[in-house]
Structure 1
Amino acid sequence: MEKHASDPDPSRQRNGFVGVLYGEFTDTLNDSVRYSVSLTESALTIQRISSSPGRSQVVFNLTDCVGCRAYRGADGADVGAFFTAYFYPFKRRWMSAGLTRQRVEQCFRVALVQDPLVNLREAERWARAIRDASGLQAPRRDGVAYAELRRPCRTMILVNPHSGRGQALQLFTDHVQGMLTEASVPYTLVITEHQNHARELVRKADLSQWDALVIMSGDGLLFEVINGLMEREDWQQAIQTPLGILPGGSGNALAASIHHYSQSPPAWNEELLLSCGFILCKGLVGPLDLVSVHLASRQRLFSFLSLAWGFVADVDIESERYRHVGAIRFLMGTLVRLATLRVYQGRLAYLPVKEAQRLQRGSSNNPSSTPQHPSLCSTLPCRLGPNSSPKQSSRHGRVGTNLNQHSISNSNNVITDTRPETQSDRKTTSPADLLLPGLDQRVPESWTVVKEEDFVLVLAIYQSHLAEDLWAVPGAAADDGLIHLLYVTAGISRPALLRLFLAMEKGAHLACGCPHLVYEKVRALRLEPASPQGVITVDGEVVEYGPVQAQVHPGLARLISG
């Protein structure tokens, strides 16, 4: 007969979980094999009971546990019950020195008495205690205030069956579906049927039915979901719906960033998917910055990843023809674009973090003062005086008149579903972008204007990764309140540019000492292309070509991360 005991010491109780459980159980396949099992708030310790000395002991960290379930056996005549715990600890990769999460299942048979209901209640007690303790031991990043998803978490999972190499649905079935079952996460699977399907769906959905929205695709589908949420009348509440992502595309930048934020060893392909599935099951929710992007047509988008012009945007869009090969498409696109390297004319200006902080302090010291930089939505924009001029330095100069070239490349599908800002749309176009003047106005004197007007690329990014294998900003976080601005000026050689991207695979490009690469932390920016043709992308999606400006909104959304 199995033994069981508990430690009733109140000092060891937390959230209803008793500090220690102990029991002796048999193996599920062989009743003659017995184990002593102890549970603390941080670990499940298993020791095989035998007559020989030096009994082997295995310790499972509850940080690695996604769930535990209790159940009766298939044999109706068996009075015993069972509980199974599911762990995903880091283990050595096969034929590699690296680490990756690998599934481990621990199952025990409970047969305290001849009453099957009593045995099942004991198995349920253990399963519940393991679930409660593993929830307390979810991996957390220092300095982030996490919330926890409600349990059970009603989840809508949107899958784009055409993303990446067209294997997203199969990847979900093979690698994620079982894990969600182990974690007792109920979900509804929605297969998207056309571009902007997800956007339309979440714009109209009854979000009270869902505790989380999860994307199984590339970054483009999450772009649709975020903008659909922000177009709702109840956008303030809607955008608080926790968002998750499972990598099913070829870029998977946000998924790679979330994995990086969890302080886990590097992972790619199915290993990255397993890691993101694990993070989803643990159910920690942290803040996510969004960036408000204004186009010349007065359309407004919300971005979670990047705004790009020049080399990066060209590679992203032109490499679509190699989508069937997966993530390597970006390497192929890079080599092709290097062969015919382009230079783009335009003007770039930005509001440095230090200047933004100074303006904020000034506003705090004078509560009665009105914002210096009104929203683009304002009915009466405040123009700058004739004597005001942008900040200058040895690398920077004064912006001239704004450009009115709005030509669009005919070779690309341009995002056109975003509704223009109008007086009647003010509820959906909030929050106000107080740092941005109108696109027809000069930038404020607190902004810095780049003197160079010939660029190879401009990249504004707000996550650590630009793709699975491109570590664009090693120090970035999902909630740092920053736009990380990188640009490369004309004059860089093809080999030097290639070296930069190869170094980006390890996040070492900022330390290369390349004189053509500039990196700045900013809160807002404006880009005015002068070249008649080109591509601008937001989160990897082509948008209207022409003047564009953007401002970060710290912590506007919520992200399932760890």
Structure 2
Amino acid sequence: MSSVMSTLSRPSRMMLLVNPQSGKGQALTLYNNHIQRMLNEAGVTHTLFITERQNHARELVKEADLSQWDALVIMSGDGLLFEVINGLLERPDWEEAIRIPLGILPGGSGNALAASVHHYSGASLVSTEELLISCGFLLCQGLVAHMDLISIQLSSGPRLFSFLSLAWGFVADVDIESEKYRHVGAARFTVGTLVRLASLRVYKGKMAYLLARRTESTPCRSASEANAGPHDSLLPPLDQPVPSDWVVVEEEEFVLMLAMYQSHLAEDLFAAPEATSDDGVIHLFYVRAGISRAALLKLFLAMEKGTHMVTNCQHLVHAKVRALRLEPLSPKGIITVDGEVVDYGPVQAEVHRGLARLITG
């Protein structure tokens, strides 16, 4: 459980952003059937903003007068929160803006952060509408905790900030290729996993990471100082070697790399059982090539219950890290940040502990 640091003032004023297209396209119906009444009964004043296109939420929070709001609440999948966090960090007043409490109501097909928030509250496993109602109650309680954000540097384009995951290989492939099965809701990931298992790919790449148990590392000059947002003190520029205290995984064949900073990767994927919202570490998993399809399927089935760490799979490596670098060497592939596709190529990441505020109930 994350340490609760404050409570929303009463009466609260919430900016509620809803993506009507997310998941099975039922977010507005779920709002009307459940959330509107819950918030009204709890004395929470809220204004509904319906997003109309990609990056609409990002633009809204970049321009918003945040003094009008006590919290920003997202009712969608995880992609809308990714937009909101990056919009806040692009503001000139980002240091103040990123402190506004953020709430999540599951309205998509992944709902990883909502499942994580529900888990942190100590409640037993639920899904679909029960998860929505649980998150609605937690939102009405209004307890606020810290949340880590991870700075992601790509070889092209501006820096991104991530609250959930960085993935390459099997997990990223399943996430993006299963978009076509959105109409089945959370089951899209199961369908996608079985399809991708049938023709398993391997990827060549290099990796390096800074283990979290080291208390200090020599700060490097950031490659992104011109951007808004906090300074990256652990990352050298992408075209320079990593510091000597990093663990280096030389060129190898991988099935997947997954960096997690919340407990759940989806409603039914308990990917990082030890994670909390503000533990200051990236939970890094990677699977080396050579694993059989049966063993990989067993690993994913175990992940539904969070028992994959004790399967003794010899191809699975897990490390708690503060920073990492991935250099894909295969010419084609997919890299995702919080489930969103980013440019394929070298990428590195560093954790910024407790940068954001999360309503955890």
Counterparts of 1:452 and 1:277, CA distance in 2? 46
- Name 1:403's counterpart in structure 2: none
Using the TM superposition, give the Cα deviation of residue 298 of structure 1 relative to its aligned residue in structure 2, in angstroms: 4.4
Using the TM superposition, give the Cα deviation of residue 492 of structure 1 relative to its aligned residue in structure 2, in angstroms: 0.1
- Name 2:321's counterpart in structure 1: 522
Higher relative contact order (CA 8 A, sep 6+): 2
Counterparts of 2:219 and 2:70, CA distance in 1? 38
- Name 1:280's counterpart in structure 2: 139
The amino acid of 2:210's aligned partner reads L
- Name 1:401's counterpart in structure 2: none
2:173 partner SS: helix
2:23 partner SS: coil
1:146 partner SS: strand
Counterparts of 1:268 and 1:354, CA distance in 2? 35
Deviation string for 1:329-354 (max 9, x for gaps)? 00000000000000000101100012
Using the TM superposition, give the Cα deviation of residue 450 of structure 1 relative to its aligned residue in structure 2, in angstroms: 1.3
Query: 1:173-192 residue pairs with structure 2 within 5 A?
Result: 173-192=32-51
2:267 aligned with 1:468:
yes
Over alpha carbons, which structure has the higher Rg? 1
Query: 1:225-240 residue pairs with structure 2 within 5 A?
Result: 225-240=84-99
Counterparts of 1:176 and 1:200, CA distance in 2? 24
Structure 2 unmatched ranges of 5 or more: none
Query: 1:346-357 residue pairs with structure 2 within 5 A?
Result: 346-355=205-214, 357=215
Deviation string for 1:51-110 (max 9, x for gaps)? xxxxxxxxxxxxxxxxxxxxxxxxxxxxxxxxxxxxxxxxxxxxxxxxxxxxxxxxxxxx
Question: What TM-score do you get using the length of structure 1 for normalisation?
Answer: 0.63
Deviation string for 1:480-534 (max 9, x for gaps)? 0010000000000000000000000100001000000000000000000001000
2:325 aligned with 1:478:
no
- Name 1:271's counterpart in structure 2: 130
Residue from 107, 110, 130 that aligns with 1:251 = 110
Question: What is the number of equivalent residue pairs in this alignment?
Answer: 361
Is the Cα contact below 8 Å between 1:349 and 1:525 reproduced in 2?
A: yes
2:181 aligned with 1:322:
yes
Using the TM superposition, give the Cα deviation of residue 372 of structure 1 relative to its aligned residue in structure 2, in angstroms: 3.4
Residue from 488, 492, 508 that aligns with 2:287 = 488
Using the TM superposition, give the Cα deviation of residue 374 of structure 1 relative to its aligned residue in structure 2, in angstroms: 1.6
The amino acid of 1:512's aligned partner reads T
Counterparts of 2:208 and 2:74, CA distance in 1? 34
Counterparts of 2:4 and 2:263, CA distance in 1? 19
Using the TM superposition, give the Cα deviation of residue 452 of structure 1 relative to its aligned residue in structure 2, in angstroms: 5.3
Counterparts of 1:554 and 1:434, CA distance in 2? 13
2:31 aligned with 1:172:
yes
Residue from 118, 121, 131 that aligns with 1:262 = 121
The amino acid of 1:244's aligned partner reads G
- Name 1:449's counterpart in structure 2: 248
Query: 1:393-412 residue pairs with structure 2 within 5 A?
Result: none
2:166 aligned with 1:307:
yes
Change in 2 beyond 3 A, CA 1:238/1:268: same
Counterparts of 1:271 and 1:547, CA distance in 2? 40
Counterparts of 1:230 and 1:285, CA distance in 2? 19
1:498 partner SS: helix
Change in 2 beyond 3 A, CA 1:329/1:282: same
- Name 1:69's counterpart in structure 2: none
- Name 1:434's counterpart in structure 2: 233
Is the Cα contact below 8 Å between 1:457 and 1:489 reproduced in 2?
A: yes
- Name 1:39's counterpart in structure 2: none
Is the Cα contact below 8 Å between 2:4 and 2:143 reproduced in 1?
A: no
2:349 aligned with 1:550:
yes
Counterparts of 2:340 and 2:70, CA distance in 1? 27
Deviation string for 1:85-139 (max 9, x for gaps)? xxxxxxxxxxxxxxxxxxxxxxxxxxxxxxxxxxxxxxxxxxxxxxxxxxxxxxx
Counterparts of 1:490 and 1:439, CA distance in 2? 26
- Name 1:377's counterpart in structure 2: 224
Name the % identity: 68
Residue from 459, 463, 479 that aligns with 2:258 = 459
Counterparts of 2:336 and 2:278, CA distance in 1? 22
Counterparts of 1:323 and 1:265, CA distance in 2? 26
2:150 aligned with 1:291:
yes
Is the Cα contact below 8 Å between 1:452 and 1:489 reproduced in 2?
A: no
Counterparts of 1:358 and 1:205, CA distance in 2? 38
The amino acid of 2:130's aligned partner reads E
Deviation string for 1:241-265 (max 9, x for gaps)? 0000000000000000000000001
Is the Cα contact below 8 Å between 1:252 and 1:468 reproduced in 2?
A: yes
Flag as ranges the 4+ runs of structure 1 deviating above 3 A: none
**CA RMSD in angstroms, aligned pairs only:** 1.0
